[in-house]
């Protein structure tokens, strides 16, 4: 099945109960995959999601010295749970990916051709997380559900097949060879296990952005997804696109799933900047606004930088909306690895560490790289 150069890693969910990740990693297992989302709910076993402080297996894995963590969502075949909603819910749960993490679609149910559902999930997750996701599925399911047409690259495919010999077709990055492996150190009882042919460095090298985002826009979810005060994962996507387009000044905190006045005002300004007026600029997205927000050819006018709010906005342990903005800029600049959870309004050690590294990367030292933003750091982060 494998030789000494192979990387065997556990595939776990709430069924495995408490895991001693320190024992697991010390035994020579630097990689794992953990379920984060199941149908319509975040898996608290994974934790933390981008909006909570729950210290679940994601944080514990990294604290134990893990190096590569696959994060997967189980896609259910329920008409009341559209694929886009499940994909957005997964992205809301995961938040920003840190170095060494990669998203995985677990697709095991549904009749007939499933390539459309898989491709739709891939499209949303690619747009939201900036990384082309992986696909996990059974060998027979892959062949009988036309999943070769879903667009997942061979280097981003995990095939489950419990035969004695590893399948040669389709080409894949990892093989789930058993659902009764172990127990491995730190994990009680038997569990699913995957093998990747190569050391962890080879796996990490394969976790880049991957293929370009799938062609075609994310489908418009309907006007019912954008009711003031109502929660819908597409609202988060709307807010992220608006911020990417330069309308972050309307948000004192990062975009979330509940449609609020900040979303409406930002959308209205975007619509006005397209030259639209009246009902076409009412602040609520319709099909044309939704499509235009995804069109790389449309750009809003440049806006003045956000003024520096003063050093008093960044006191350790204090809450200020500018702290969220600081964290978001740092994540955008590539410092997301310092955050176990998504940036928030309370100034914490993660913000200080990320900011200090950013400052050092500018060539600054001493008090100029103390982890607390001043006017120059604030301006440089917006460039």
Question: What DSSP letter does each residue of 238-283 carry, written as one string?
Answer: HHHHHHHTT-GGG-SS---SB--HHHHHHHHHHHHHTT--GGGGSS
Between 301 and 210, name the one with better pLDDT.
210
Q: Which fold has domain 223-293?
A: Muramoyl-pentapeptide Carboxypeptidase; domain 1 (1.10.101)
**Integer Cα distance of 98 and 80 in angstroms:** 32
What are the residue ranges of CATH 1.10.101 in the chain?
Answer: 223-293, 311-381
Indicate the length of the chain as a whole number. Answer: 383
What the block records as the tokens of 211 is 């293929």
pLDDT score of 4: 52
Helix, strand or coil, per DSSP, at residue 382: coil
Q: Are 214 and 119 in contact (CB under 8 A)?
A: yes
What are the residue ranges of CATH 3.20.20.80 in the chain?
Answer: 7-205
Q: Are 314 and 345 in contact (CB under 8 A)?
A: no
Does position 270 have pLDDT exceeding 80, yes or no?
Answer: yes
> Which helix (H) or strand (E) covers residue 101, if one does?
strand 101-106
pLDDT score of 221: 79
Least confident of 104-118, 209-223, 286-300: 209-223
Q: Are 192 and 57 in contact (CB under 8 A)?
A: no
Q: Candidates 3.40.50.720, 3.40.190.10, 3.30.110.30, 3.20.20.80; correct CATH number of 7-205?
A: 3.20.20.80
Query: What does the pLDDT average to over 245-259?
Result: 77
> Which helix (H) or strand (E) covers residue 288, if one does?
helix 287-293
What CA dihedral angle connects 255, 259, 265 and 266, to 10 degrees?
40
Query: Which pTM value belongs to this model?
Result: 0.57
Query: What does the pLDDT average to over 42-47?
Result: 71
Q: Candidates 3.90.1570, 1.10.101, 1.10.10, 3.30.300; correct CATH number of 311-381?
A: 1.10.101
Query: What does the pLDDT average to over 133-156?
Result: 93
What the block records as the tokens of 187 is 């994990």
pLDDT score of 74: 95
Does position 299 have pLDDT exceeding 80, yes or no?
Answer: no
pLDDT category at 348 given cuts 50, 70, 90 is very high
**Integer Cα distance of 326 and 309 in angstroms:** 11
- Which of 35-49, 229-243, 278-292 has the largest mean confidence? 278-292
Between 302 and 260, name the one with better pLDDT.
260
- Give the closest residue to 68 by CA, choosing from 127, 3, 11, 118: 11
**Integer Cα distance of 365 and 379 in angstroms:** 18
**Integer Cα distance of 186 and 101 in angstroms:** 21
Buried b (16+ CB within 10 A) or exposed e, 201-227: eebbebbeebeebbeeebebbeeebbe
Does position 156 have pLDDT exceeding 70, yes or no?
Answer: yes
Helix, strand or coil, per DSSP, at residue 177: strand
């Amino acid at each position: 099945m494998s030789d000494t150069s192979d990387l065997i890693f556990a595939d776990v969910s709430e069924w495995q109960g408490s895991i001693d990740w320190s024992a697991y990693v010390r035994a020579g297992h630097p990689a794992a995959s953990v379920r984060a989302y199941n149908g319509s709910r975040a898996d608290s076993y994974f934790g933390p999601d981008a909006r909570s402080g729950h210290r679940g297996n994601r944080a514990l894995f990294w604290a134990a010295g893990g190096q590569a963590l696959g994060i997967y969502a189980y896609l259910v075949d329920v008409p009341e749970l559209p694929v886009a909603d499940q994909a957005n819910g997964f992205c809301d749960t995961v938040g920003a990916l840190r170095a060494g993490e990669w998203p995985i679609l677990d697709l095991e149910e549904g009749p007939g051709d499933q390539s459309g559902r898989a491709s739709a999930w891939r499209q949303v997750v690619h747009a939201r997380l900036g990384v082309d996701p992986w696909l996990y599925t059974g060998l027979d399911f892959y062949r009988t559900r036309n999943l070769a047409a879903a667009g997942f690259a061979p280097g981003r495919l995990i095939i489950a097949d419990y035969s004695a010999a590893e399948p040669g077709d389709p080409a894949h990055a990892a093989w789930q060879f058993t659902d009764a492996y172990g127990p491995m150190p730190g994990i009680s009882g038997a569990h699913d296990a995957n093998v990747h042919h190569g050391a962890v460095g080879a796996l990490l090298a394969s976790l880049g952005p991957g293929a370009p985002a799938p062609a075609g826009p994310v489908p418009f979810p309907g006007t019912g997804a954008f009711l003031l005060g109502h929660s819908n994962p597409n609202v988060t996507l709307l807010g992220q696109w608006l911020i990417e387009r330069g309308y972050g000044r309307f948000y004192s905190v990062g975009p979330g799933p509940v449609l609020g006045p900040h979303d409406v005002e930002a959308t209205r300004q975007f619509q006005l900047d397209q030259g639209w007026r009246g009902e076409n600029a009412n602040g609520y997205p319709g099909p044309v606004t939704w499509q235009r927000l995804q069109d790389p050819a449309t750009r809003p006018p440049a806006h003045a930088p956000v003024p520096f709010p003063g050093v008093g906005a960044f006191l350790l342990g204090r809450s200020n909306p500018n702290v969220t903005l600081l964290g978001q800029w740092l994540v955008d600049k590539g410092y997301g690895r310092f955050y176990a959870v998504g940036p928030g309004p309370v100034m914490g050690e993660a913000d200080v560490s990320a900011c200090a590294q950013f400052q050092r990367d500018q060539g600054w030292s001493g008090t100029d790289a103390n982890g607390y933003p001043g006017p120059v750091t604030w301006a440089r982060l917006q460039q």
